[in-house]
Structures are given as structure tokens and as C-alpha cells.
Amino acid sequence: METNSDPVYSRNVVEFVAVANEFCKYTEHASELKGDEFLKILQRILPLLYLKASLLPQLDPFFEDGNEKFVTESDWNSINDILKEKFGTANDYPEVFDEKINESEGHVVSGISEDMADIYQDMKDFLLLYQTGTGEVMNDAVWECRMNFENFWGQKLVNSMRAIHKFIYSGEEIGKVEKDTNENDENRNTADWFITRRQKDLSGGIE
């Protein structure tokens, strides 16, 4: 069949679609799971997601205007809030790979919930574009997903894996975090969040 020679239907892409779909499915139903249970699910899915993303073909985009986006900032906030509550005291971890750590005396704090919301945003947008069945759109979805994996969420994935691994084998239990609106405000600059950067990149002249 001719479609077999089209890279968007290649085995590597199809297998990545399957793993991305599983990740999105579990993330969307995270409210039904216990925090430690979901962390163990992520412990198994994230390495596979990383592997399959690294095998995506290198393609050239068809369109210059960028891909359509479906995950809104409200969607991102909802995912982040649910996961942050579920992960509790297991959520925050020192970001040792952040470039800002060289400019600050203390640790830059990141969160598994933010990382997963960032990855979910890209996976969901990718899946909805890929499912259109239009060759050019599917091509550009694969192209953008690989680009974002290399430059953005791939690092976030491995950072979270370090924190997840440490917590799972620590023997600790997830505790509730008291909400403090001032806590970590200096360390968490929303301008650096993935969805904020993506929206700025895509807003050139478009409101």
C-alpha cells in the first residue's frame, strides 16, 4: 500500500500515537485516581513516551502559519490544579537543570503537575491534529511534536521522572499541602511556563 511509505503512517509514529493517547487518557481521569497510584502509572508511561518520541521521524512542515491549538489555558490550569492536589507533598522538586539556577542563590522549584500539564498540552494538540486524517496536517503535527520534544517537554519529562523515582522509592506517603498564596511566588515565574511561552510564540499578530 502506498500509505506504508508515508512517514506519518510509519510504525514509529503509530506507536507514539498509542502511548500519547494512553498518557492523555490517564491524565484526563486523574481525579479518579489516588496520587501515589497515578505516580506509579506515570513511572511506567513516561519512559515509553520518551522513547517513542525520540523515534519520531524528522519531517519538514508544509504550512507556515503554525498548527491549530485546542488545549486552552483554562484546560492547562485545570489539569495542573487537579494533579497538584493529588500529588500533594510529592509534587514540588528542586529544578537542577534550570538555567536560572546559576543566577539564583537558592533552588528553582518546579512541580510534577506543571510538567505533566505541559506534556498533556502538547500530546492532546498532537492527537487531535493527527486524527484529522489529512496528510499535511498530520505531517506538521508530527514535525511540531518532535520539535517540542527536543526543545521543551522532553527535558521536563526526564526531570519529572527523577522526582517520581525518588518519591516512589522513598517509602514516604503523600501528604496534603496547605495552600499559601505567597509560597514559592518568587521561584515560580509564570512567564516561563510552557503554555505561556507557546501562546506568546503563536500570538504574533493573532489575538
pLDDT at 4: 57
Mean pLDDT of 193-197: 45
Q: What is the structure's pLDDT at 179?
A: 67
What per-residue confidence (pLDDT) applies to 84?
A: 97
DSSP 3-state percent helix, strand, coil across the chain (nearest 5): 65, 5, 30
| Residue boundaries of the structural domains of the chain | 2-202
Q: Is residue 187 predicted with pLDDT exceeding 60?
A: no
CA pair distance 22, 172, nearest whole angstrom: 27
pLDDT at 28 over 90: yes
Residues 107-136: pLDDT tens digits?
Answer: 688 999 999 999 999 999 999 999 999 999
Class of domain 2-202: mainly alpha
Question: Measured between alpha carbons, how far is 15 from 13 in angstroms, rounded to an integer?
Answer: 5
Say what the pLDDT of residue 178 is.
75
